[in-house]
Amino acid sequence: MHSLKAVTPLGASAPVVDEINGFTMREVVDRALVSVAARKGQDKAVAKILAKLIDAPTPQAGHFGGAMTKSKSAAIWMAPAQWMLDAPMKSRDDITTSLAAEFGGKASLTDQSDAWCRFEITGPQIDRLCSLLCAVDPRRLTAGCATRSSIEHIGAFLVRLGRTKLHVIGPRSSAASLHHAITTAMTSSVY
Partner 1 sequence: MTASNRLKGGMINRRKPLSFSFDGKVMSGFDGDTLASALLANGVKLMGRSFKYHRPRGPLTAGSEEPNAIVELREGARREPNTRATVAELYDGLTARSQNRFPSLGFDMMAINDRLSNFLTAGFYYKTFMWPAAFWEKLYEPVIRHAAGLGRASVEPDPDCYDKGFLHCDLLIIGAGPAGLAAALTAGRSGVDVVLADEDFLAGGRLNAETHSLGDDGGSEWAARATAELAAMPNVRLMMRTTVIGAFDHGIYGLVERVADHLAAPVDGQPRQRLWRTYTKSALLCGGAIERSIAFENNDRPGIMLAGAMRAYANRWASAAGQKVAIFANNDDAHRTARDLHRKGVAIAAVIDTRDHAPASTDYEVLTGATVTNTKGRLGVKSIDVTTAKGVRSFDVDALGVSGGWNPNVHLSCHMRGRPQWDDRLAAFVPSGDLPKGMVVAGAANGQMTTSAAMAEAAAIAATITTDLGHKAVKADLPQASDESADVSAFWFVEGTQRGWLDQQNDVTVKDITLAHQENFRSVEHLKRYTTLGMATDQGKTSNVGGLAIMAELAGKSIPEVGTTIYRPPYTPTAIGVFAGRSRDQEFRPVRKTPSHNWAEEQGAVFVEAGMWLRAQWFPKEGETHWRESVDREVITTRGSVGVCDVTTLGKIDVQGKDAATFLNRIYCNGFAKLAVGKTRYGLMLREDGIVMDDGTAARMAEDHFIVTTTTANAVGVYRHMEFVRQVLWPDLDVQIISTTESWAQFAVAGPNSRKLLEKIVDPDHDISNAGFPFMACGNITVCGGLNARLFRISFSGELAYEIAVPTRYGDAMIRALMEAGEEFGVCPYGTEALGVMRIEKGHATANELNGTTTALNLGLGRMVSETKDFIGATLSRREGLMADDGLRLVGLKPCEPNNPVPAGAHLMTAGTRVDAKHDQGYVTSACYSPSHGHHIALGYLKSGDQRMGEIIRLVSPLTGVEHDVEVTSAHFIDPKGERLRA
Question: What does the binding site for partner 1 look like in residue numbers (CB under 8 A)?
Answer: 1-9, 11, 29, 35, 37-40, 82, 92-93, 108, 110-116, 131-132, 134-139, 152-154, 171-178, 180-181, 184-185, 187-188, 190-191
Quote the least distance from Cβ 157 to partner 1, whole Å: 14
For partner 1, give the closer residue by CB, 122 or 183: 183
Quote the least distance from Cβ 106 to partner 1, whole Å: 11
For partner 1, give the closer residue by CB, 39 or 165: 39
Instruction: Give the rounded distance of the alpha carbon of 152 from its chain centre.
Output: 18
Torsion of CA 72, 147, 99, 104, to 10 degrees: 130
Quote the least distance from Cβ 107 to partner 1, whole Å: 8
Quote the least distance from Cβ 105 to partner 1, whole Å: 8
For partner 1, give the closer residue by CB, 40 or 70: 40
Number of H helices, E strands in the chain: 4, 11
- Maximum CA extent, the chain: 52
Q: How far is CA 189 from CA 13, 68, 184, in A?
A: 29, 27, 8
Which phi and psi (to 5°) does residue 153 adopt?
Answer: 75, 10
* Nearest-angstrom CA–CA distance, 159 and 141: 8
Q: Integer distance in angstroms from the first to the last C-alpha of the chain?
A: 50
Closest by Cα among 106, 1, 85, 94 to 35? 85
For partner 1, give the closer residue by CB, 55 or 114: 114
Quote the least distance from Cβ 162 to partner 1, whole Å: 19
Residue type, 43: D
For partner 1, give the closer residue by CB, 33 or 159: 33
For partner 1, give the closer residue by CB, 44 or 55: 44
Quote the least distance from Cβ 190 to partner 1, whole Å: 7
